[in-house]
Chains A and B, each alone.
Chain A
Amino acid sequence: MTRNMRYIIWFTVFLCYSCEKKSDWSTNTDNHPKLVVQALLTNEYRIQDLRLSLSTNELNQAPTPVEDASVTVSTANNSFQFTHAAGGRYLSTVPFSVSRGIPHQLTIDWNGVDYLALSTDTTVAPMPPIEFAPIQSDSTLLRINETIPLYSAFEQSMYQFDIDWRQLTGDSAAIARIYDYTFSDYHINEILPPPKQVVRFPIGTPVIVRKYGLNDAYAHFLMSVLIATEWNGNVFYSSPSSPPSNISNGGLGFFAVSRVLTDTLIAQ
């Protein structure tokens, strides 16, 4: 059988097989909006920030920021006030860093309800070598090489890659943020995940890498987020569930404190 013939057979087979198309599926999402907390405080001595918003009923719907909450982060010895800046973003009134091994409590007073959350940081393992890989179709472009281990029994980490090549191209949209993770568990959805959007950037792009150490609760939250999003739709997908939250009184999202490492690279 010639190679062409084999191509034709395969092509025919794949035409008949799996097909994923856009759908106008409507969901029953007539829910009362809930408070969403997005708070990751670190051991960097700086103005810490967090975001408050409301949940939405539609996909792609911009969340409504919560601007009138009273926010405090406290430990046994200190208390830090946060004030609203803009768009639901709250900034600490003074710079501070999270204290090692000490529980931090977030208190949000909004609409007469107190939302509480507790979090304690954990260590962060050393930054591994970060690699870039060339794009096959264009040798002037690179991507982040997937060398971050999915699993480690010794650490749980979140990597944040901030990639900015606006100065190289003049394109105001030439900016990207990518997350990657290492967990001490692995979920069935991790195996053969669905294809992921590839971020391509030119050689010479500055990349800031931040590595956060994750405590067990925050790692579980982030893994649940991935199960519902990035890993959802793999070959062995599980029934999705809502990510857990450590916010009391029905709040969504998560409050975490973390130790962080930062590195700045030039993509080569």
Chain B
Amino acid sequence: MRLIVTIILFLFTFCLNAQVQRITVKEQKVTISKLLKRISKQANVEFSYNSKLIDKKKSVSFNIENSSLDQVLTLLANTINVNYEQFEDLIILTRKETETLGSKPPVLKSPKKITISGTLTDQSNGESLINAIVAVKGTSKGVFTNAFGFYSLPLTVGTHTLIFNYIGYDQQEQEITIKENQAISRALAPSQIDLPAVTVGLPVREILNNKLRGVNALSAADLNNFPEFGGESSLTKGLQSLPGMKMHSDGSSAYYSRGGERDQNLILIDDAPIYNPSHLFGFYSIVIPDFTKSITVYQDDMPAALGDQLSSIISIRTKDGNLNKLSLGGSVNPFMARFSLELPIVKQRSSLFFTFRRSSLGFYSFANAQNFRYQFHDFHLKWNLKISKKNRVYFTMLQIADLFENKSIGINRLNWGNFAAALRWNYIISPKLFTNTTIYTGTYAFHLNLPGNLWKSELGNLSFKSDFTHYVNDKMTSKFGFENQGYFILPGETSRDSSLAFLPKITPDYSGKSVLYYQTEYQLNEQWSINAGLRCISWKNNGPETYFEYDDSYQIEDTITVAKGLYNSFNNVDPRISVNYSWNGTNQFKLSYGRYHQYLQILSNTVSPFSFFEIWQPANTTIKPQVSSHYVLSYLKLLKEKAYEVNTTAYYKRSQNIIDYAPNSILLDNTAIEGTLRQGNADAYGLEMGIKKNTGKLTGSVSYNYARVFRKTEGLNNDQVYRALQDRPHELSIVANYDLTKRIQVSSYWTSFSGATFSSPTSYFEYNNQTIPMFDELNNDRLPFYHRMDLSLKFQLQKKRDNAFKHSLMLSVYNVIGHKNTYAVKFNKLEKDFQNPPVTGNVLSMEQQMATEIDMIRFFPSLTYKFKLND
């Protein structure tokens, strides 16, 4: 199937390629206007020029046959007496200097507002640059490119010096005289030296705004520099290093944002949702850094265009693929191998990007472990095509799968995986109006095969979204759009050999969501700006369905069967607003409020780090949508030539209808699963402080967070407030990267945080000769403090940094200090002095039981070889 898709894409783009090869124009008398149109049509380029400098109605003679675009443009320049400059498929015509000498510039009656727009790309590979800056030198005026590299900058007519800037790229400046709307696109060259992230002359207020909003909180470069686990960079490990994000424990991909639950985080890859971002029970992340272009982390002030999750949204944009030349890369280590290929199909117009990664753990299976098998793989594909200057399409596909077998313990096969795909169409309606339309899907499936038994949980959605960005004027930008989503949810179904037993039929759920949103950013003056938005959501449950109604004691009191069609809905309007105040060009305060609803949740009462055993369930007649209000005050200051950032954030979150579970709930194959749920309130508050150094040989960050989360749920913990699992008051995190030499970089990551809460026994009793623990208080105990230090040494093997072929060796050690980080405490094991103490089998044995602590990884080294050609 993948092969067929690839061939179709190749054929399609090669057909286009064939159409733009040679140009023929034979005209004895033609107006310049018509001539330009003919060339434009044949060469698939656009011309930009000042109509007051070139007489479009003037007739000229033009004869050229089967020639290249360069030849045609040379003849054109001589014929109509202009200079030309080409930027991708945009040709800019200007009057020759000799012609302008002595001529008078046109007299302008009054300053007129016009707009320049265009795209910024990487000169080396044609990648669009996200959040690059286009600014007017000497002013505070400037804008960022959007997720597709497009910008729109309102200006007055006249002469301006534009700055084009992006971190890690050589800054460009251009003086332009503009009199009408104009398209200006630029390709920036990657810098060979480290530059400050913020330089004088750029729109600092907007930069501060973006930083406070979580834009580029984590980059692919950050991930690559991060000390790796098992030879592979991990998105979730990177996220867990950010202030406000807390990890579950070693070996878990779960993370908690500012006291939220682990299912309150949304990961989007090119707009398509990823429901489970982990491999190998959470040790590895599915997001391959080489495939990643930008990562935006929203923990507050979430955009109205995205949602609906209560705690965080991680929006990942993938690389488009090299538009200029074939590029490849990869890595090999004892645990996995990865390979990527970037292939320009039509130079500057279309490319393909493949990435494939596969674990090599199966290789280590040997004679007495024949029943054991584990492997995972990822396949990522990106295709893009510039149809014209105003139209571009992208197609992204991710296929991710894990497989685990251990027949000796009765698991025939356990496999889980994600599939996500997004087809996006960018269309520039006008210099002020940009639109992106997306059709996307995301699915997640988990299958557990035991002998004669298959348990499966599945979730999928198909969505359509149209998003508009209106650059109203230099003070106001609006985003608006709509989205329709359809969900298919199978919340855990077991099928068995019918000769063994009969299990209840779990019916799938069909739900839908319609969203309208509007958000505007308005700059009141040099100091104050405001960002406000509304997200109107209509969530619908559709039949056919059989569901239960419950009485106050959660017993079924009625069974209701509904036919096909809508049987339940929720309609909510979620407002959000933030006010920014900046001064001195280096300080910014932000106060924000947002109210969010969540309609889809994981039902799982496991607190294990290996948390992929999940049942997804939508809001319905029994499960109310979760809702949360965020109040956040942030302060950001740039220090020392803006090389340092100091960031402080205080927050309070009040959440309602948060899901918890009745004691000893059965969630698997439970047709009345809603009867086991208990919805309550959660209060989270905290203070995050951090300092970050962006430039120099030593870069990194130090952050300290204080955070608390308390819950109260009717019917649990004697109706008293209790600490949430993720209530961990103290957290210290240090990231440091140091360039020892031009070829050697050392990176380290230190994290210390309070242990998770858990329920420990409050008393014991004896029954059937067994000791039974009682747990009278929820989460009454706390695991020991967690400490971990990871180290990595990256050695660049080629001598010159700008070689076409780059390769390196990376030695990483996870938990280099070997600290015992306990993730569970048990009170049911027999006193045996070996690796895995057993639970009691013979209840008459007089053996004592003991408390045990379980930890996972004390020291884990890895060595990885990485290479890249034509990066």
Contacts and interface: CB of A to CB of B under 8 A. Distances in A.
A185 B504 CA distance: 10
Interface string A14-31: 001111111111011101
Contacts of B845: 176, 197
A179 B768 contact: yes
7 contacts: A23-B851, A31-B763, A153-B501, A154-B501, A185-B666, A186-B669, A196-B840
Contacts of B837: 20, 22, 195
Interface stretch (A2-10, A97-105, A115-123): A2-10
B670 A24 contact: no
B334 interface: yes
A7 B501 contact: no
Nearest to A146: B410
Contacts of B847: 197
A223 B664 contact: yes
B766 interface: yes
Contacts of A175: 844
Contact of A238 (B367, B606, B851, B860): B606
Interface stretch (B40-48, B627-635, B746-754, B820-828): B820-828
Interface stretch (B118-126, B183-191, B387-395, B771-779): B771-779
Contacts of B831: 22
A21 B837 CA distance: 8
Contacts of B853: 20-21, 23, 25
A34 B851 CA distance: 23
B366 to A, nearest CB: 5
Given A185-B669, A197-B842, A240-B773, A224 B760 contact: no
A94 interface: no
B282 to A, nearest CB: 12
Interface in A197-241: 197-199, 220, 223-225, 227-230, 232-241
A113 to B, nearest CB: 17
Contacts of A188: 604-606, 613, 667-668
Contacts of B450: 191
A220 B568 CA distance: 33
B849 A242 contact: no
A73 to B, nearest CB: 18
B764 interface: yes
Contacts of B766: 36, 38, 53, 56, 63
Given A36-B767, A241-B775, A6 B664 contact: no
A31 B762 CA distance: 7
Contacts of B835: 19-20
B765 A23 contact: no
A60 interface: yes
A134 interface: no
Given A16-B860, A253-B765, A31 B854 contact: no
A145 interface: no
Nearest to B716: A241
A187 interface: yes
Nearest to B814: A16
A220 B857 contact: no
Contacts of B758: 239
Contacts of B288: none
Interface string B591-634: 00000000000001111101101000000000000000000000
Contacts of B14: none
A57 interface: yes
Interface of A: 3, 6-7, 9-10, 16-25, 27-29, 31, 33-34, 36, 38, 53, 55-61, 63, 149, 151-154, 173, 175-179, 185-188, 191-199, 220, 223-225, 227-230, 232-244, 252-254
Nearest to B770: A229
Contacts of B158: none
Given A36-B765, A53-B766, A253-B767, A233 B829 contact: yes
User: Which 5 pairs of residues, A with B, have the shortest CB-CB distance?
Assistant: A197-B841, A241-B663, A176-B842, A25-B851, A224-B664
B848 interface: yes
A241 B661 CA distance: 10
Contact of B854 (A19, A56, A243): A19
Nearest to A225: B772
Interface in B790-848: 820, 824-831, 835-848
Given A19-B820, A236-B610, A237-B607, 6 more contacts: A20-B829, A27-B760, A154-B501, A154-B502, A185-B669, A241-B759
Nearest to A176: B842
B762 A238 contact: no
Contacts of B775: 228, 240-242
Interface in B258-313: 281
B764 A59 contact: yes
A167 B366 CA distance: 43
Given A27-B781, A240-B775, A254-B767, A18 B855 contact: yes
A198 B841 contact: yes
Given A22-B850, A194-B838, A254-B767, A152 B825 contact: no
Contacts of A229: 770-773, 828, 839-840
Contacts of B851: 22-25, 27, 59
B850 A58 contact: no
B795 to A, nearest CB: 23
B839 A196 contact: yes
Contacts of A21: 852-853
A66 B481 CA distance: 71
B193 interface: no
Nearest to A222: B768
Contact of B663 (A36, A178, A244): A244
B4 interface: no
A9 B841 contact: no
B767 A3 contact: no
Nearest to A161: B842
Interface in B500-545: 500-504
A7 B364 CA distance: 8
Contacts of A230: 828, 839-840
A56 B610 contact: no
Contact of B773 (A6, A228, A254): A228
B497 to A, nearest CB: 11
A50 B775 CA distance: 24
Contacts of B858: 16, 19
B668 A60 contact: no
Given A63-B765, A177-B843, A28 B848 contact: no
Q: Looking at B503, B667, B761, which has the most chain A CB atoms within 10 Å of its CB? A: B761
A40 B778 CA distance: 30
A3 B852 contact: no
B689 interface: no
A149 B500 contact: yes
A21 B854 CA distance: 7
B856 interface: yes
Contacts of B604: 188
Interface string B434-459: 00000000000000101000000000
A59 B409 CA distance: 30
A198 B839 CA distance: 10
A6 to B, nearest CB: 5
B780 interface: yes
A17 to B, nearest CB: 6
Contacts of A241: 663-664, 759, 775
Nearest to B850: A22
Nearest to B281: A235
A209 B119 CA distance: 79
Nearest to B778: A239
B849 A60 contact: yes
B178 interface: no
A218 to B, nearest CB: 12
